[in-house]
Structure 1
């Protein structure tokens, strides 16, 4: 996942501005220790270290927190074009447990973006490359609502 695709400089700068703006106000990401390690048009990588306070009664990372990590990567990826975009739904398959001390990485990529709706996939893996979860998000663009600045996104499909 996280396919490499050619990007122009303006679209990359736009994605980075969107990341900076969103991250500054993202209380959930800050509370969970998430970091947006990379972003580009239609893609994002977000990491999170699993802490003791994230474990459920079986001593593994709460599935909702794994989902939150994937949802965050999805949010950054689908907003990277500077068109305010929200989730209209998602599904997640939990494949393996995250454990205390693991560093989980969610890599989100656009699958389809047409008009106001999009589909994005995110894969969550641990520091050993073991797949923890697969996430598919459906997005909805809010017409005429940029994330940063006064105009629609640069290069938005």
Structure 2
């Protein structure tokens, strides 16, 4: 069996930051390129077209490559990063932004004594808020306003009241309006705490 691979319509942003798949340029996009403020380019993972040959039969198979590490996600504009990181709610909770890229966000929160419930464990709403901040930053990192449509969270394990938590949000798929994200909450040493699945809606289209 022989396998042949070639790229399918991949090109990079103007600054060469990361590849994205071409799409039809709308009238609105062309107008914005002529001087109006336009959002970040829509970015999607690599796609490869594999030709698999077995005997006298061949077939094509499209394989998608997804980012593995944070550095695989494209950088965003400095002014957009600053605007997102000035979130008042995140500041009130003491959440720190560790990394923010297009479709990706990593934040940290050191739990405080007033963040526990009557049982002495960190309150679930605090863990949810940390995941939600990572989600909100990741889904707005394209430069277009997005709001939450749905968030479901599973609490996997309890943590100590003085723990430091990390939330890492990753874009799984971005359509024309809806975006799908997965947020992992862990301790600093990587122990799982919670897992959230989120859907965002772009309001500017």
Q: Please report the TM-score for the alignment, with normalisation by the length of structure 1.
A: 0.82
Structure whose residues are more often helix by fraction? 1
Give CA deviations for 1:25-76 in whole Å, capped at 9, x if unaligned. Answer: x221111100110011100001101110000011111001101100100111
**What is the number of equivalent residue pairs in this alignment?**
138
- Structure 2 residues without counterparts, runs of 5 or longer: 1-66
3-state SS in 2 of match to 1:13: coil
Tell me the C-alpha RMSD between the 2 structures: 1.6
Does residue 12 (structure 1) correspond to residue 67 (structure 2)? The answer is no
Contact 1:44 1:74 in 2 (8 A): yes
Task: Find the partner of 1:3 among 68, 79, 99.
Answer: 68
Does residue 92 (structure 1) correspond to residue 153 (structure 2)? The answer is yes
1:62-73 pair list within 5 angstroms: 62-73=123-134
1:1-157 pair list within 5 angstroms: 3-4=68-69, 6-7=72-73, 11-14=74-77, 16-24=78-86, 26-143=87-204
| C-alpha distance in 2 between matches for 1:73 and 1:53 | 22
Greater RCO structure (CA 8 Å; 6+ sep): 1
Q: Which runs of 4+ in 1 moved over 4 A?
A: none
Q: Please report the TM-score for the alignment, with normalisation by the length of structure 2.
A: 0.64
